[in-house]
Structure 1
């Protein structure tokens, strides 16, 4: 997956000349016909991310003084924001693995804004680039550049030129045509301020929680934890786990990520069959919260046209390219 924050540059900004906020760490090196581009730190992002994590660390000391309703509210917000990413930006808009009616699209856009991982258009664009050019220089969070880079380092440095160049070739016409996506993009910054920070801070005062506690717990700590849950899909699920579907690619099946990211950790399956709405082998029901909710929405008539991969195709692919393991499926029998 490809989460980003609104403070991070878009393709157009990053195509411009570097400014005082960046520092060149390496010289350009030509090795085996591969151009190694200088790594440029975006110090503004480093400072912002560092401040966020220091605030989140401080928030941990406030937990004993919080009301239980505040902690529960923070957890609910984190799960809702995660759902906005998994069911919304990822499976609906980035992959078009199912269709959603207007009311559901509006709801998913709202909770995707709550997550504050960039607007739907940019999130989906980056994710499509990630899939098309996975583990190459054009991959925004290329896992072959190391765990830290895949997890968060890619947000602290300027994009590789291939990410910008090849990203412009991705078809985004469906996103341009969606009025929900267009509207969210227009109002994204004030909407993030309201949904990600102001409401989570003010609503807990209804049950007599202090503004101080609610701001640090429900806004900053919740936001930081949700970022790491998403980032683990890019790092942990690209490095640690088994590969029952395709042993030749980096993505893996990782149960820790499944639990933390609402079912997104069946990543070897997802990169093998990216258009499947379940993002996991059929028969795996528990822990794939996103799939279960999409099924419920379809039952209620809010969603339809789920794309899935036949069991026969999956079995043949496992025999042909899998690594022979299947431990995740055994957990659900």
Structure 2
């Protein structure tokens, strides 16, 4: 495995693989100065334009595809989402629960299917986002507008504050995990296999779908939708909705994002209690990621789920909430 101190994008290097959906490159030394706009990363602009154009084309293939192919594409979407929500986000970024080796291997494979940069880089950016939310040190600062928070942050090099302040945080715990190290070392190969080869070959081999339909529906369309669903957590869930836990911060409770991102739209709660494994108040709320973690707990693959006590939640609502719930 490469030296994280040398190849981390926090030092300003560009490491984004094609279509990775997270790493937008390094910061120019002059970036962040008044009157000096951020440099556009044209490679990312072109690749994302091609990806989304291909996804639009994929829609015309739906009527002529096998119903099993559409079901398979949706199952791949769920696995993709879990690789981000249950894996990179709740397990590795926030350490909100502990997972045994078989589950960590599954989540790492699912994370490679998501193709949003390896676990280490995803978690590094996310921890910086939480530490410096809605400032220039936030990789997808929502105060710069919906487009920037959603996808525009991938089209420009990082603001120098992201690199400078993020470089002061400790990420050593991530590299102490052998699964994280392995996935980081073989990330490109795992992405080719999990994001494109497996989703394409299964429909072709098992029920005779054409490779063309399989590739565009189970790989390209599924991947594009999963990227935009993830980005909505950065954009819509930071701009639209209620703030029942803390009205002084931007993140909101957004039902639309919750449904699409399988439970990640309770964002005002999550930024108020980031250590909670459920990323929401427990109860009969739509949170498939929490259901998955609970099921893994029942199987004995999850331990030490962290939760915010009800008393703490209620006290915070009364002190800083907007009264919406």
TM-score (norm 2): 0.91
Q: What is the CA–CA distance in structure 2 between the aligned matches of 1:299 and 1:245, rounded to whole Å?
A: 30
3-state SS of 1:40 partner: coil
Which of the residues 26, 38, 46 maps onto 1:14? 26
Structure 1 residue 13: Cα displacement: 6.0
8 Å contact kept, 1:237–1:252? yes
1:322–1:163 CA distance, 2 compared to 1 (3 A): same
Superposition pairs for residues 20-39 of structure 1, below 5 Å? Answer: 28-29=33-34, 37-39=36-38
1:152–1:174 CA distance, 2 compared to 1 (3 A): same
Equivalent position of 1:224 in the other structure: 224
8 Å contact kept, 2:62–2:217? yes
Equivalent position of 1:116 in the other structure: 115
1:13–1:212 CA distance, 2 compared to 1 (3 A): closer
3-state SS of 2:40 partner: strand
Structure 1 residue 164: Cα displacement: 0.7
1:12–1:245 CA distance, 2 compared to 1 (3 A): closer
Equivalent position of 1:144 in the other structure: 143
3-state SS of 1:41 partner: coil
Q: What is the CA–CA distance in structure 2 between the aligned matches of 1:266 and 1:225, rounded to whole Å?
A: 20
Q: What is the CA–CA distance in structure 2 between the aligned matches of 1:159 and 1:149, rounded to whole Å?
A: 12
- Alignment partner of 1:49 is 2:62: no
RMSD over aligned Cα atoms: 2.0
Structure 1 residue 286: Cα displacement: 3.4
3-state SS of 1:69 partner: helix
Equivalent position of 1:271 in the other structure: 271
Equivalent position of 1:330 in the other structure: none
- Alignment partner of 1:176 is 2:187: no
Per-residue CA distance 1:45-82 (angstroms, 9 max, x = gap) = 00000000000000001100000000000000011100
Q: What is the CA–CA distance in structure 1 between the aligned matches of 2:23 and 2:47, rounded to whole Å?
A: 20
**202-211 vs 268-277, which deviates more?**
202-211
Q: Number of residue pairs matched? A: 309
8 Å contact kept, 1:46–1:156? yes
TM-score (norm 1): 0.89
Equivalent position of 2:298 in the other structure: 299
8 Å contact kept, 1:66–1:213? yes
Q: What is the CA–CA distance in structure 2 between the aligned matches of 1:115 and 1:12, rounded to whole Å?
A: 16
Equivalent position of 2:63 in the other structure: 64
1:99–1:222 CA distance, 2 compared to 1 (3 A): same
**126-135 vs 9-18, which deviates more?**
9-18
1:209–1:9 CA distance, 2 compared to 1 (3 A): closer
3-state SS of 1:248 partner: coil
Per-residue CA distance 1:123-170 (angstroms, 9 max, x = gap) = 000000000000000000000000000000001110000001111111
Superposition pairs for residues 72-221 of structure 1, below 5 Å? Answer: 72-206=71-205, 207-221=207-221
Q: What is the CA–CA distance in structure 1 between the aligned matches of 2:291 and 2:313, rounded to whole Å?
A: 20
Superposed structure 1 runs of 4+ greater than 3 Å apart = 4-13, 15-18
Q: What is the CA–CA distance in structure 1 between the aligned matches of 2:22 and 2:268, rounded to whole Å?
A: 28
8 Å contact kept, 2:25–2:157? no
Q: What is the CA–CA distance in structure 2 between the aligned matches of 1:314 and 1:12, rounded to whole Å?
A: 36
1:12–1:168 CA distance, 2 compared to 1 (3 A): farther
1:317–1:44 CA distance, 2 compared to 1 (3 A): same
8 Å contact kept, 1:87–1:290? yes
1:144–1:170 CA distance, 2 compared to 1 (3 A): same
Q: What is the CA–CA distance in structure 2 between the aligned matches of 1:12 and 1:210, rounded to whole Å?
A: 34
Equivalent position of 1:238 in the other structure: 238
Extract unaligned runs of 5+ from structure 1.
Answer: 19-23, 30-35, 327-333
